[in-house]
Amino acid sequence: MIEIKLPILGENIIQGEVVKVFVSPGDKISKGQSIIELETDKAVIEIPASEEGIVSSVLAHESQVIRVGDPILILGESSVRGTKNELPLQKKSSSVLPQAISKMGPAARRLEQLKQTLPLSAQDFEKHGPVEKQKFSKLRRVISERTSLSWKIIPHVTQCEDASLTELVKLKKKLKVTLTPLIIKLLVKALQEEPRFNSSLIEEEQILILKKYFHIGVAIDTPEGLIVPVIRDGDKKTVKQINSELIDLSHRAQKRTLELSELEGSSFSLSNLGPIGGTYFTPLVRTPEVAVLGLGKAHEKLVKRRSKIITDLILPLSLSYDHRVIDGADAARFLIKIKNSIENPNGYSKK
Amino acid sequence: MVIQKNKTQLAVLGAGPGGYHSAFRAADAGFEVTLIDTNRALGGACLHVGCIPSKTLLHLSELLDEKNYLTECGIDLGEPKINLSRLREYKNKVISQLSKGLSQLASKRKVRFYSGRGSFLDAHTLRLNDENGGEEHLSFDYAVVATGSRPFIPEAWHFESPFLMNSSRALDLEDVPQKFLVIGGGYIGLEIGSVYAALGSQVTLVEQLPTLLSQTDPDLVAPLRKKMEKKFSALYLSSRILSLNEIEGEIKVKIETLQGLKEEIFNKVLIAVGRIPNSSGLNLSATQVKLDKQGFIVVDPHQKTEEPHIFAIGDICPGPMLAHKASYEARIVVDNLKGNPARFDAKAIPCVVYTNPQIAWCGLTENEAKKLGQEVRVLTFPWIALGAAVSRGKTNGLTKIIVDPKNGQVKGAGITGHGAGDLIAEMVLAIEMGATATDLAMAIHPHPSLSESIMEASELYEGGSVHLFKQR
C-alpha cells in the first residue's frame, strides 16, 4: 500500500484547494500522470503521481483544502513498488507543517504596548505653548472609527485620470442641474457594466456579494464634519430627480435632520471636492464598499487635441479601490469608462 | 515622644528581591526613595531565611551525595566529618557578604533605608516604628508594598516548641536531629529534607496529596522520588498528620498513611505546608487597597492596587511565590512610575526545585495542557542517552519540551537533572521569543554539555534525534 501525498510545491506554498480530481478507484496510473488539479495562492497546477499502480482509494475531494504532506490517494496491493520509498520523516509531515508563528520577544511586545497605549494629555502639549481644548464630537468619533477600520482592513490603491468637462457642462446648462447628479447618473451606468465595483467582500466566507441595486453615497461637507447621505436606486431615477433629492439631502445634512435610513445602504460613494478646490486626492473606501470616486476642481488646462493645443475644462478624477476585490487593470478600465462617459455624455446616455 | 515627620517620593515597604529591585531601579530613574524593612539588613526572606541559605546548604549536600560516586570511580575521600558550627558560619558568611553588597548598592544610590515596621496611616502616609521605640510619619507620593510571605502553620500546631520548626528556623541548622519529620512534599519540604538527610538525619516525609510537587508533571518528579525513596527512611504520600504532641523532649506524631495508622517519635519536625502573604500588619484598611480571600493584594496588570499610586509586587500578590517573579514585577512598577504603562507580560516563569536531581520547569506543563484540553506534542529526551550526562554520572535526568503540534512552537518545558535550574533559562528565552523546536534544534549547542539535551529533545519534533533511536 502506498500513499501518494501532496509534495512540496515550492517556496511558501503550504496548501491549496483541490479543483479537480482526475482519477478514481480502480484506475491504473503511471508515474508522472496528473492526479489532481490544485489551486494554490500562486497558480493552478496539476499534481503528478509520484508512483505507479492501481488506485485503491481517493482521499482528496474537490474544493477540499489540502496541505503539503497530506495524502491524496492510496495505491493498492498490485502496485509495483513497496513502501521502502517512504521516508520516515514524511510520515509526520502532515501534522508538523509550519503555520504562521508570532515571534515577538518581550522587548518587542513592550514596544508594541507602548505604541498602543502611549497616553497623551493636554500637558504634553501645553509645555510647548498655549493650547485650546475642543470636544471630539460624536460625529467625529463615528468618522474616526469608520475611517480607521477602512484604513486598517482595506489594501487601498488610487488611480487618477483627467476628463474633459466641456460636453457635460453643456448638458448641465441645458438640464439646469448641478454637476453631481449628472456624474451620479453616469457612474451608475458604469457600475451596471462593471458589477465588481458595486460589490462587498465577506472575507470569512470567501464570497463576493454583487449588488443589483445602485445606491450612491454622496459625501457632504458640514460644519460638524463629513456626512454621507445616500441617493437610492440611481438607475431608476432621472437626473432631475436626483438633482432635487440631492438639494434636499444636502440641506438637511447641514441641519443634521437626516433620518438614519437615509445614511445607510450605499453601494458606492462619491466625494466631490470640486466646489472647494484641489485636483487629485486619495479618497478612503468606505468599507464594506469596495471603491470610491473622488472629483477635484474643474479647471482650464492646455491640452493637445487632433494636433492642436486648445484650452479645455478638465475634471480631475481619483478612484480608490479595494485591491482584494479589484485589480489595477479593472480600475483603469472603469476609470476610462467614466472618463469617456463624461466626455461624451449624450452618446453614453443614448446607449 | 517626638514623632518625626518626613516626606519621600517613593516609599518601598519590604527590602526583599521585589522591594530592593523597586527601590534601586526607581533611584536610578531619579526618584527619591525610602526603603523600609523590619530586618536590619537588606535582602528579605530570600537572602536571610530562604533561597540563599537553602541553596548554599543544598549545594554542599549535593557534594556530599557525590561521595559514593567518587568511591565507585576509584576516589575514596573517606567518611565525611560534619562540623556544624563551621557549616553555619559558612552559610552566614554567604548571607552577610550578599547583604553587605546590597547595603552598599543602596547607599551609593542614596536610597534611605529605615529598619522598622511600616503601616499605613492613610493612603499617603506611612507610620514607621523602629525597634528602639522611635516613630516617624512618612508621607509619600508613591508606594510599593513588597512585604512578602511567611511560612504557614496550621492552627492546630500553633504551640511553642523548640522541636517544631518552620523553614526559616530549619535553615539555622541548630543541630542534626536523629529522626527528622518533614510535613509537606512541596519544594521547601523536599529541599530542607534533602539537606538534613545529607547531613545524616533519618528523614520521614509526609504529604497529603498522592504526588510530590503536584504543580509539575509526574515524569519530571519520578527520578527525584526514586532517589528520595532511597535517601529518606520513609515517604508517606496520601497521608495525614492526625496529631503532634511534645512529650519529654520529643515530638510524638500520629500519621494516617495508606499502610494504616503510624505512631512515631521524632526529634525535630519541619512544617512546610505553604506560605501566606504578610498583609495583615500593614493597616491596609486605612487605604482603598483591596485584599482577596487568601489575603493577597489585588493588583491590575500594571501592579497597581485600587489606589493607583500604591503598587504591590511579589509574594503579597497572587501568583507563584518566587523571588524572580517579584523582581520582574519591580521592573513593571518602575516603568509605570516613569510614565511607561508596562504590564505583566511574561509568557513563562521558571520554577526550580534545588534538590538532587534538580527539577525545573516553565510555561505550559503536560498536566495543564491536559486540563485545558490543549493539544500538544511532548518531546522527551532521557539523559541516559546523553554523553555529557554519562561522563559525569548524572544520568538520572530528562529534558522535556512541550510544543504546539501545528507549528512546533515551544509552549513549555521541564528539565530534571544536574543543573536543571540553569538549563531552564534557555527554555524561558525560547518561549518568550516564540521559538520553535526547529529553532532550538538548529541552534548549535556545545558538546559535551547537558544543554545538548534541549537540542536533542527538539530534534524529536522533526522525526528523530541522533542519540535516541526510535523504531518506526
Q: Which of A61, A156, A299, A323 is catalytic?
A: A323
- Kindly give the confidence (pLDDT) of every residue in chain A, 351 residues in length, as a single tens digit, with 9 standing for 90 and above: 788 888 887 656 677 888 888 888 888 888 888 899 887 766 677 888 888 888 888 888 888 888 888 889 888 754 333 333 333 333 333 333 344 567 888 888 888 777 766 667 888 888 899 999 888 888 888 899 899 999 999 999 999 999 999 999 999 999 999 999 999 999 999 999 999 999 999 988 889 999 999 999 999 999 889 999 999 999 999 999 999 999 999 999 998 888 888 999 999 999 999 999 999 999 999 999 999 999 999 999 999 988 999 999 999 999 999 999 999 999 999 999 999 999 999 865 543
Chain A residues at the B interface, defined by Cβ less than 8 Å, are 88-89, 91-92, 95-106, 109-110, 113-114, 117-119
Q: Are A254 and A238 in contact (CB under 8 A)?
A: no
Helix, strand, coil distribution of chain A in percent, nearest 5: 30, 30, 40
User: Does residue B472 surpass a pLDDT of 70?
Assistant: no
Q: What is the CATH number of the domain that holds A155?
A: 3.30.559.10
Omega of the bond prior to B448 within 30 degrees of 0, cis? yes
Across the interface, whether the CB atoms of B434 and A97 are under 8 A apart is answered: no
State how far the Cα of A3 lies from the Cα of A82, in Å rounded to an integer.
11
Inter-CA distances, B352 with B4, B366, B411, B416, B457, Å: 44, 17, 17, 10, 20
Q: Whole-number mean pLDDT of chain A?
A: 86
Q: Is residue A102 part of a domain?
A: no
Region for B283 from its dihedrals, namely left if φ exceeds 0, alpha if ψ lies in -120 to 50, beta otherwise: left
Of B224, B192, B226, the closest CA to residue B417 belongs to B224
Residue the block writes with cell 527528622: B180
- B128 to chain A, minimum CA–CA distance in Å? 35
For the B155-273 domain, the top CATH level (class) is alpha beta
Q: Give the pLDDT mean for B258-268.
A: 95
Q: pLDDT value at position A56?
A: 86
- A224 to chain B, minimum CA–CA distance in Å? 34
Do A143 and A290 lie in one domain? The reply is yes
Residue numbers of the domain that contains A216: 139-350
Across the interface, whether the CB atoms of B345 and A96 are under 8 A apart is answered: no
Do A159 and A263 lie in one domain? The reply is yes
Helix (H, G, I), strand (E, B) or coil at A161: strand
Task: State the ipTM, two decimals.
Answer: 0.71
Q: Is residue A29 part of a domain?
A: yes
Chain A residues within an 8 Å CB radius of B409: 101
Q: Is residue A60 part of a domain?
A: yes
Q: Which residue of A has its CA nearest to B435?
A: A103
Chain B residues at the A interface, defined by Cβ less than 8 Å, are 340-343, 345-346, 405-409, 432-436, 461-464, 472
Do A204 and A278 lie in one domain? The reply is yes
State how far the Cα of A276 lies from the Cα of A299, in Å rounded to an integer.
12
Chain B residues within an 8 Å CB radius of A88: 463-464, 472
Is the alpha carbon torsion for A177, A180, A185, A186 positive or negative?
Answer: positive
Q: pLDDT value at position B1?
A: 72
B222-235 pLDDT, tens digit per residue, is 999 999 999 999 99
Q: DSSP code of A34?
A: E
Asked whether the domain spanning B351-462 has the same topology as the one spanning B155-273, the reply is no
Q: Which residue of B has its CA nearest to A91?
A: B463
Q: Is residue A307 part of a domain?
A: yes
pLDDT-derived band at B157 (thresholds 50, 70, 90) equals: confident
Of B151, B464, B246, B371, the closest CA to residue A89 belongs to B464
- A15 to chain B, minimum CA–CA distance in Å? 14
Q: pLDDT value at position A98?
A: 42
Q: Are A47 and A7 in contact (CB under 8 A)?
A: yes
Q: What's the farthest any 2 CA atoms get from each other in chain A? A: 88
Omega of the bond prior to B320 within 30 degrees of 0, cis? no
Do A25 and A148 lie in one domain? The reply is no
pLDDT-derived band at B468 (thresholds 50, 70, 90) equals: confident
Q: Is residue A125 part of a domain?
A: no
Express as a percent the part of chain B with pLDDT over 90: 94
CATH 3.40.50.150 fits B351-462, yes or no: no
Q: Is residue A118 part of a domain?
A: no
Q: Which residue of A has its CA nearest to B407?
A: A98
* Number of folded domains that form chain A: 2
B382-421 pLDDT, tens digit per residue, is 999 999 999 999 999 999 999 999 899 999 999 999 999 9
Domain-by-domain residue ranges, chain B? 3-151+276-337, 155-273, 351-462
- B315 to chain A, minimum CA–CA distance in Å? 23
Q: pLDDT value at position A347?
A: 66
Q: Which residue has the higher pLDDT, A59 or B323?
A: B323
C-alpha cell at A256: 443634521
Q: What number of CA atoms fall less than 13 Å from residue A279's CA on the CB side?
A: 10
Buried b (16+ CB within 10 A) or exposed e, A268-285: bbbbbbbeeeebebebbb
CATH number of B3-151+276-337: 3.50.50.60
- What is the separation of C-alpha B226 from the centre of its chain, rounded to a whole number of angstroms? 22
pLDDT-derived band at B471 (thresholds 50, 70, 90) equals: low
State how far the Cα of B149 lies from the Cα of B75, in Å rounded to an integer.
44
Do A270 and A167 lie in one domain? The reply is yes
Inter-CA distances, B54 with A134, A316, B65, B233, B406, Å: 62, 80, 16, 21, 41
State how far the Cα of A186 lies from the Cα of A191, in Å rounded to an integer.
9
Do A183 and A304 lie in one domain? The reply is yes
Beta-carbon contacts of residue B404 (< 8 Å; ≥ 6 apart): B376, B377, B411
Across the interface, whether the CB atoms of B433 and A105 are under 8 A apart is answered: yes
Within 10 angstroms of residue A13's Cβ, the number of other Cβ atoms is 17
Do A264 and A172 lie in one domain? The reply is yes
B339-356 pLDDT, tens digit per residue, is 888 999 999 999 999 999
Helix (H, G, I), strand (E, B) or coil at A233: coil
Chain A residues within an 8 Å CB radius of B405: 95-96
Residue the block writes with cell 480600475: A331
Q: Which residue has the higher pLDDT, B118 or A23?
A: B118
Q: Which residue of B has its CA nearest to A112?
A: B342
Of A166, A162, A274, A170, the closest CA to residue A218 belongs to A274
Do A24 and A82 lie in one domain? The reply is yes
C-alpha cell at A331: 480600475
Helix (H, G, I), strand (E, B) or coil at A141: helix
Q: Is residue A131 part of a domain?
A: no
- B346 to chain A, minimum CA–CA distance in Å? 7
User: Does residue B155 surpass a pLDDT of 50?
Assistant: yes
Do A214 and A345 lie in one domain? The reply is yes
Do A286 and A199 lie in one domain? The reply is yes
Q: Is residue A185 part of a domain?
A: yes
Q: pLDDT value at position A88?
A: 34
Q: Which residue of B has its CA nearest to A86?
A: B472
Domain end marker among A71, A89, A107: A89
Domain end marker among A89, A114, A149: A89
Residue the block writes with cell 496541505: A67
The torsion angles phi and psi of B135, rounded to 5 degrees, stand at: -135, 140
Q: pLDDT value at position A139?
A: 86
Q: Which of A92, A103, A109 sits opposite B345 (nearest CB)?
A: A109
Q: DSSP code of A345?
A: H
Give the residue from B302, B375, B379, B409 with the most A CB atoms within 10 Å of its CB, the best one to mutate: B409
Strand blocks (E) in chain A: 2-5, 15-21, 28-29, 34-39, 44-48, 53-58, 65-67, 71-75, 156-164, 199-202, 207-210, 216-218, 220-222, 225-227, 230-231, 268-272, 291-295, 299-305, 308-322
Across the interface, whether the CB atoms of B346 and A102 are under 8 A apart is answered: no
Chain B residues within an 8 Å CB radius of A95: 405-406
State how far the Cα of B157 lies from the Cα of A100, in Å rounded to an integer.
55
Of A152, A149, A175, A179, the closest CA to residue A163 belongs to A179
Q: Which of B343, B409, B472 sits opposite A101 (nearest CB)?
A: B409
Do A323 and A221 lie in one domain? The reply is yes
> Amino acid identity, residue B298?
V
Across the interface, whether the CB atoms of A99 and B407 are under 8 A apart is answered: yes
Do A226 and A321 lie in one domain? The reply is yes
Inter-CA distances, B405 with B379, B408, B435, B461, B462, Å: 11, 6, 14, 9, 11
Chain B residues within an 8 Å CB radius of A102: 434
Residue the block writes with cell 484598611: B285
- A65 to chain B, minimum CA–CA distance in Å? 16
Within 10 angstroms of residue A119's Cβ, the number of other Cβ atoms is 7
User: Does residue B212 surpass a pLDDT of 70?
Assistant: yes
Q: Which residue has the higher pLDDT, B55 or A347?
A: B55
Q: What is the CATH number of the domain that holds A21?
A: 2.40.50.100
Across the interface, whether the CB atoms of B464 and A113 are under 8 A apart is answered: no
Query: Does the active-site annotation cover A299?
Result: no
